[in-house]
Amino acid sequence: MLTFELMKEHEQVVFCQDPHSGLKAIIAIHNTTLGPALGGCRMLPYKNEEEALVDVLRLAKGMTYKCAAADVDFGGGKAVIIGDPLKDKSPELFRAFGQFVHSLNGRFYTGTDMGTTPDDFVHAYKETDYIVGLPEAYGGHGDSSIPTALGVVQGLKAVCQFLWGTEDLSQRIFAIQGLGKVGFKVAEHLLKIGAQVVVTDISEEVTALLREKAQDLPGTMEVVAGDDIYAVQADIFVPCAIGGIINDTTIEQLKVKAVCGAANNQLLEDRHGQILHEKSILYAPDYIVNAGGLIQVSDELYGPNKERVMQKTKAIYDTLFQIFKNSEKKAFSTVSAANQFVEERLQKRARFNSFYTHQQRPKWKVRR
């Protein structure tokens, strides 16, 4: 398919190449109605360019919805670097990436996502100020996966309250896919409060590390291999790795009452949200649940304030609960309820939008 056809909902796509460092990256800006685009940068060994392009376009759109739902005055954008994070990283690669980000002159801010860490962006920050999620030593808030994990726990509580009339997570069974920066923290929290977790990760190292920690914690832990996670008999499926994992094949296997996790773009297509609804599996829309990182990194641009970030992240509970209630009242899926809430907010703001505002960070005192 042609690029313009693929990006028909997006404002801008930038292909970035630097032969010296080996950088091959794509930046996608979906919508800047609410302000300049903001979104992390993922590094993955994509099979081919089309896979990378499709991923970045979907992720950038998700950020528009996430920013609007979290009431953050930024638009939706995202970046992907094509490469293996275990082999292909170098300071020069991230500096080259920083130069491309700078060339957008404030239309796009970026930080970490799958496969990248705050330390990688210290190199990019040497070339541009349009970086978020920096380590505290560099004036940032540090690891944004901490509030993301907190937001997921808030989401899980809202699910439990809605389905079982109690926020208590300790009596539940959770099937967690992915024990990376976010999934590991969520699993550890659940083990600390005595819950049962069934986990999977393609890295044996991280499952071994969690097993070691679990020995001293009241909860119980079981490890399953790869795709077996979809068929686990649990209360809630918690996707914390890749996207597209709720699809025609996996939905048939699910034995849970709800899906609520950190992964971006969990539904392969929006219609899979409708199928979950018809099967009475409560779906917590990903871009509502996983907004904690966004809340922290956008707040960072105005001077770090951990208390403010925690308050805004805890509000994920209320937003999600309201969406569940709207979905119940109107008898449509939670995806439709969430999208409607966001699209109304975007429409209301659209009349303030202009190309000038795309590069202007909204109000408050700014870091630069």
Ligand X SMILES: O=C(O)CCC(=O)C(=O)O
Ligand Y SMILES: NC(=O)C1=CN([C@@H]2O[C@H](COP(=O)(O)OP(=O)(O)OC[C@H]3O[C@@H](n4cnc5c(N)ncnc54)[C@H](O)[C@@H]3O)[C@@H](O)[C@H]2O)C=CC1
Given the rule CB under 6 A, which residues bind ligand Y?
Answer: 112-115, 144-145, 148, 177-183, 200-203, 206, 240-243, 262-264, 290, 293
Site for ligand X in 29-48 (CB under 6 A): 39-40
- Burial of 274 by CB count in 10 Å (0-12 exposed, 13-18 middle, 19+ buried)? middle
User: Given candidates 196, 264, 334, 339, which one binds ligand X under the rule CB under 6 A?
Assistant: 264
The strands making up 196-200's β-sheet, listed across from edge to edge, are: 220-223, 196-200, 173-177, 236-239, 258-259, 282-283
115 binding ligand X? (CB under 6 A): no
Q: What angle do CA 31, 286, 238 make, to 5 degrees?
A: 155
Q: Which residue's CB is nearer to ligand Y, number 65 or number 357? A: 65
Q: What angle do CA 178, 179, 185 make, to 5 degrees?
A: 130
112 binding ligand X? (CB under 6 A): yes
Distance CA 240, CA 113 (A): 12
Query: Shortest approach of ligand X to residue 143 CB, angstroms?
Result: 9
172 binds, among ligand X, ligand Y, none (CB under 5 to 8 A by kind): none
> Helix, strand or coil for residue 165?
coil
Asked if 78 is an active-site residue, the reply is: yes
**Helix (H) or strand (E) segment spanning residue 321:** helix 316-330
Q: Which residue's CB is nearer to ligand X, number 13 or number 297? A: 297
With beta carbons less than 8 A apart as the criterion, state whether 80 and 46 touch: yes
Q: Which residue's CB is nearer to ligand Y, number 186 or number 357? A: 186
144 binding ligand X? (CB under 6 A): yes
154 binding ligand X? (CB under 6 A): no
Indicate the angle between helix axes 334-350 and 316-330, nearest 10 degrees: 110
User: Given candidates 75, 76, 83, 111, which one binds ligand X under the rule CB under 6 A?
Assistant: 111
From 110-118, 180-188, 248-256, 317-325, give the range in contact with ligand X by CB under 6 A: 110-118
Each residue 65-84 as x (binds ligand X by CB under 6 A) or -, in order, gives -x------------------
150 binding ligand X? (CB under 6 A): no
User: Given candidates 13, 95, 293, 334, which one binds ligand X under the rule CB under 6 A?
Assistant: 293
- Determine which one of 24, 78, 89, 312 is catalytic: 78
From 44-52, 99-107, 249-257, 289-297, give the range in contact with ligand X by CB under 6 A: 289-297
Q: Which residue's CB is nearer to ligand Y, number 312 or number 358? A: 312
Stated length of the chain: 368
173 binds, among ligand X, ligand Y, none (CB under 5 to 8 A by kind): none
Query: Shortest approach of ligand X to residue 3 CB, angstroms?
Result: 22
Distance CA 13, CA 6 (A): 11
Q: Which residue's CB is nearer to ligand X, number 32 or number 290? A: 290
Q: Which residues of 155-170 are buried (b: 16+ CB within 10 A; e: fewer)?
A: bbbbbbbbeeeeeebe
Distance CA 100, CA 126 (A): 12
Query: Shortest approach of ligand X to residue 353 CB, angstroms?
Result: 21
Distance CA 358, CA 77 (A): 12
User: Given candidates 238, 281, 294, 335, which one binds ligand X under the rule CB under 6 A?
Assistant: 294
Residue 317 phi/psi, 5° resolution? -55, -50
Query: Shortest approach of ligand X to residue 264 CB, angstroms?
Result: 5
Q: What angle do CA 313, 319, 323 make, to 5 degrees?
A: 150
155 binding ligand X? (CB under 6 A): no
Distance CA 123, CA 331 (A): 49
Catalytic residues, which ones? 78
